[in-house]
Amino acid sequence: MADHDESLKQTYDVVAGDYVAHIFDELRHKPFDRQLLDEFAARVGRDAVVCDLGCGPGHVARYLRERGVNVLGIDLSPSMIEQARRLTPAIPFREGDMRALDAADSAWGGIVAFYSIVHIPKPALPDLFREWRRVLAPGGLLLLSFHIGTDTVHRDEWWGHDVSIDFLFFQTAEVIEALQSGGLAIERVVERDPYPDVEYQSRRAYIIATAAAP
Ligand SMILES: C[S@@+](CC[C@H](N)C(=O)[O-])C[C@H]1O[C@@H](n2cnc3c(N)ncnc32)[C@H](O)[C@@H]1O
């Protein structure tokens, strides 16, 4: 594993417990996100397998499961996966790399990925989305969110831990272009301002895309 990946994994391992304390409950304060997830759950139904990619402690997966979705979760960080399993034992969570998925072609009816692309360099996005397209069944649904902007935010400290991590922000148009390059069809794009006192104060984008038949 490259140094960057190892460092990223170690960072999320170190902050996993604090991530639970700060983020696990966040959907309670985010009605817009809940509405999008409700719509996503209604569309994918109960039969399709859905994957929460870069699931962290698994709160989004858990929200979907509570709405009847057959969901699993994958994350690079073993400690995040440990937290996710502890918090929601009914969901199969496993370690994995969303850039090279251990899933068969067309295996999943849906992918949800909230802020999971935040460490992916822009030039790597089309290949990432091509891989997601590979594992989505024809007509499969993607719900993706990310921070809008042109900045890279570097942090040396995170919840009292010494870290070195970059968070990448994206322009909506460049993510749309990368999704299309990866073979996904854009269905809906929504942006919103941050909820005050609830989350990092960045504007956010949500994209719903579908996997067209090959
Ligand atoms: C900003 S957190 C978002 C977590 C969660 N989706 C949420 O909404 O709170 C990014 C997550 O992506 C995971 N991650 C980063 N790169 C990954 C990769 N290549 N494959 C799988 N997970 C990855 C990290 O370990 C981390 O848990």
Q: Tens digits of per-residue pLDDT, 76-91?
A: 999 999 999 999 999 9
Ligand 1 atom nearest to 97, measured from its CA? 20
Q: Is 20 in the pocket of ligand 1 (CB under 6 A)?
A: no
Q: Is 19 in the pocket of ligand 1 (CB under 6 A)?
A: no
Q: Is 79 in the pocket of ligand 1 (CB under 6 A)?
A: no
CA 130 – CA 196 distance, rounded (Å): 35
Asked whether the predicted pLDDT for residue 214 surpasses 70, the reply is no
Q: Is 83 in the pocket of ligand 1 (CB under 6 A)?
A: no
Angle among Cα 77, 189, 198 to the nearest 5 degrees reads: 55
Q: Is 80 in the pocket of ligand 1 (CB under 6 A)?
A: yes
Greater confidence, 212 or 89? 89
Read off the pLDDT of each residue in 198-212 and give the average, rounded to a whole number: 93
List C-alpha distances in Å: 25 to 31, 85, 92, 168. Answer: 13, 16, 20, 24
Tokens 């269905």 — which residue? 187
Asked whether the predicted pLDDT for residue 1 surpasses 60, the reply is no
Question: How high is the pLDDT of residue 40?
Answer: 98
Asked whether the predicted pLDDT for residue 96 surpasses 90, the reply is yes
Question: How high is the pLDDT of residue 2?
Answer: 81
Q: Is 77 in the pocket of ligand 1 (CB under 6 A)?
A: yes
SS3 category, 128: helix
Of 132, 99, 124, 135, the residue nearest 174 (C-alpha): 124
Query: Which one of 76, 81, 144, 167 would you pick to mutate in the ligand 1 pocket, going by the greatest count of ligand atoms within 8 A of its CB?
Result: 76
pLDDT digit string (tens) for 5-41?
Answer: 999 999 999 999 999 999 999 999 999 999 999 999 9
Measured by CA distance, the residue closest to atom 9 of ligand 1 is 56
Indicate the residue type of 165. I
191, 176 in Cβ contact below 8 A? no
CA 111 – CA 40 distance, rounded (Å): 10
pLDDT digit string (tens) for 41-64?
Answer: 999 999 999 999 999 999 999 999
Q: Other C-beta atoms within 10 Å of 47: how many?
A: 8
Tokens 């170190």 — which residue? 14
CA 33 – CA 35 distance, rounded (Å): 5
pTM here is: 0.97
Tell me the average pLDDT of the chain: 96
**In the chain, what are the domains?**
2-211 (3.40.50.150)
Question: How high is the pLDDT of residue 122?
Answer: 96
